[in-house]
Amino acid sequence: MLDQMKQTGRWDSLKLQWKSGDPNPPHRFWDSDIAKWLEAACYILTLQPDPSLAAQVDEAVDNIRNAQHEDGYINTYYTVVEPGKRWTNLSWSHELYDAGHLFEAALAHNLYCQSRRLLDPLLKYIRYIDSVFGLREGHKAGYPGHQELELALLKGYEQIGDKSLLVLANYFLEERGQPRPQGHYFDVEAEARGEAPNPGPSPKGAPKYSYHQADRRVRDMESIEGHSVRAMYWLTAVSNLARVTKDESLLEAAERLWDSTTKRKMYVTGGLGGMSEWEGFGPDYVLPNETGYLETCAAIGLVFFAYQMLLIDPRRTEYADILERTLYNAVLVGVSLDGKRFFYENPLATVGKLYERSAWFDCSCCPPNVARLIATLGKYVFTVGADDTIYVHLYISCTAELTISGGKRITIVQQCNEPWNGGAKISINGPDAHRMKFSLRKPLGAEDFKVYSEGINISSLELNGRVETYMTGGILTVDFAYSARAISPHPLVLDNRGCIAFMRGPFVYCAETIDNPQIKDLRAIRIIPGRTPREFVEKREFSEWGLDPIVLKVDAIILEDGVRKEDEVTLIPVCLWANRARSDLRVWLPSLLPDEGLA
């Protein structure tokens, strides 16, 4: 990834040597690419030392420090490409978005090495931003065109306790979509640039301003609309603010938009964005398979949002359920098994073997975003509640150090059979270990969920998908099994009419051409209703990457070239597709209808 960053000119762009007329001008969003790489690198260094990576981090930090103006401003594009145009185009320029990612990188750098070499310059930049924006006389009443700074400010507030960060985040979140007598801020600034106001409604329903989630105040919003990545970053900040301020109406808005997102606009994989025309949400239940967008970054944003909701109410299992579903499907499918190639879009069906992952993109938000998510995966496994309850959300093998009341540190070791088979053993060390309360989540698709404490089955304590118990013997054993299950589509999702999908545990499965060479077009598959899928551990070509995934075989009629034949269709987890060859995938498979006859 660093290679691509260097080859494309991103890495050196912060040295501010580009001159008007030179080829390859820095883009508006390049700072964010470097920042996300830097953030990921710092989190990786927190987990394990790597002197060569650390040297690259130092260089990036130096470049950012040297790019800072006297007044605190940092932005490559507006320094070398359009100097003098600062803050003239919030709606489309990504200027505050870049600032947000730089601040997130500074927070990660501070965590990794306790140094303030990057944090202090970024806090200076934030103070400068605070001096520019707001409702006071002489300030710009604007807010980010691509949300991101908001969540970074709140993360900063929670990490370093600086209340001015909370105040600025609150301003951006409260002002967004506020009706103002002088007109919508995005029109006011467009007029100041001598341009026409923001374009009007698209005929297909991305109404004015709602592409940016800026058509009304969040408290007045009933449905999530517009660009999916913007929406998810924003709702992450909204729910974070609601938790921090305990504002009831903001919390209600967050819950309402959570429901809108996950109950009416989400694909079975956790993917978001049915409308490729604006990389975002369509009307409720419009989830086309071949033409959907399902941007990898939108799925990452949904993980962030789910995490904030889970911190608000860790007992409500739907938050961790969606987080787990999205992580194992919509996020993981975005990266190849060798970690080097990426999907930007992730439709649930393809035709013509046209898709393959790329090492890089012109607009390359997804690769470093995947990197920083994977590098911080640990935080989604356990969370600590206000009463020091340890919430176990994901069964991923790890050793975790958690901080509880009074700054005490405890160590938890979790050993799991995941992801192909259920079960985990959780042990805890520390002086207060025996007094800790655990809340153990029944994972997605788990069967026979049992929890044993000192050998005693305490599963009868299960309430709403969680078992809560005190740790008495230092070890808790969790047992559960997975088996393949068939999923029916929501009746209003006509894109999946008469179709069926398969899951096993958290994984959504798909047919991939390479595993079904006898079928020319995957659309010819008709699953025979009522037959049980068979499970096999198949090494196939996946053993190259150390994987022995469980593969499903289902009975189907193949209707091809006017011939009907019964055959077995092989299914693999969606996240594994497109690793072995150019191929097609299909998640929702037609089931045999009565007028097609039974086998």
Asked whether the beta carbons of 247 and 239 are under 8 A apart, the reply is no
User: 434 vs 531, which CB is nearer to its own copies?
Assistant: 531
- Beta carbon of residue 225, minimum distance to its own copies (angstroms, whole number): 10
Asked whether the beta carbons of 467 and 500 are under 8 A apart, the reply is no
Q: Binding its own copies by CB under 8 A: which of 524, 538, 547, 580?
A: 524
Asked if 599 interacts with its own copies (CB under 8 A), we say no
Q: Which amino acid is at 59?
A: E
Q: How many CB atoms lie within 10 A of CB 278?
A: 19
Q: What is the C-alpha separation between 475 and 425, in angstroms, rounded?
A: 7
Rg of the chain over Cα atoms, rounded to whole angstroms, equals 25
Q: Binding its own copies by CB under 8 A: which of 83, 179, 183, 201?
A: 201
User: 258 vs 293, which CB is nearer to its own copies?
Assistant: 293
Write out the binding residues for its own copies, residues 557-576 only, by CB under 8 A: 559
Write out the binding residues for its own copies, residues 499-518 only, by CB under 8 A: 499
Half-sphere exposure in the Cβ direction for 21 (13 Å, CA): 0
User: 530 vs 543, which CB is nearer to its own copies?
Assistant: 530
Q: What is the C-alpha separation between 248 and 394, in angstroms, rounded?
A: 28
Q: What is the C-alpha separation between 426 and 476, in angstroms, rounded?
A: 5
- Beta carbon of residue 329, minimum distance to its own copies (angstroms, whole number): 19
User: 91 vs 346, which CB is nearer to its own copies?
Assistant: 346
Q: Among 183-191, 424-432, 491-499, 572-580, which window interacts with its own copies (CB under 8 A)?
A: 491-499
Tell me the sheet residues that pair with 266: 272
Q: Among 328-336, 382-390, 497-505, 534-542, which window interacts with its own copies (CB under 8 A)?
A: 497-505
Write out the binding residues for its own copies, residues 272-311 only, by CB under 8 A: 274-277, 282-286, 288-291
Q: Among 101-109, 227-235, 408-416, 486-494, which window interacts with its own copies (CB under 8 A)?
A: 486-494
Q: What is the C-alpha separation between 457 and 448, in angstroms, rounded?
A: 12
Q: What would you measure as the largest C-alpha separation in the chain, in angstroms?
A: 76
- Per-residue b/e over 101-135, b at no fewer than 16 CB within 10 Å? bbbbbbbbbbebbeeeebbebbbbbbebbbeebbe
User: 108 vs 499, which CB is nearer to its own copies?
Assistant: 499
Structure-token match 């961790």, residue found: 320
- Asked if omega into 49 is within 30° of 0 (cis), the reply is no
User: 199 vs 339, which CB is nearer to its own copies?
Assistant: 199
- Tell how many helices (H) and how many strands (E) occur in the chain: 16, 21
User: 316 vs 564, which CB is nearer to its own copies?
Assistant: 564
Asked if 593 interacts with its own copies (CB under 8 A), we say yes
Tokens of 5: 């960053």
- Beta carbon of residue 456, minimum distance to its own copies (angstroms, whole number): 42
Residues contacting its own copies: total by CB under 8 A: 43
* Helix/strand/coil for 438: strand
Asked if 211 interacts with its own copies (CB under 8 A), we say no
Write out the binding residues for its own copies, residues 344-403 only, by CB under 8 A: 344-345, 347, 349, 351-352, 354-355, 358
Asked if 582 interacts with its own copies (CB under 8 A), we say no
Phi-psi region of 321 (alpha: psi -120 to 50; beta: other; left: phi over 0): alpha
The residues that touch its own copies, with contacts defined as CB under 8 A, are 201, 203-205, 207, 274-277, 282-286, 288-291, 343-345, 347, 349, 351-352, 354-355, 358, 491-492, 494-495, 497-499, 521, 523-524, 559, 590, 593-594, 596
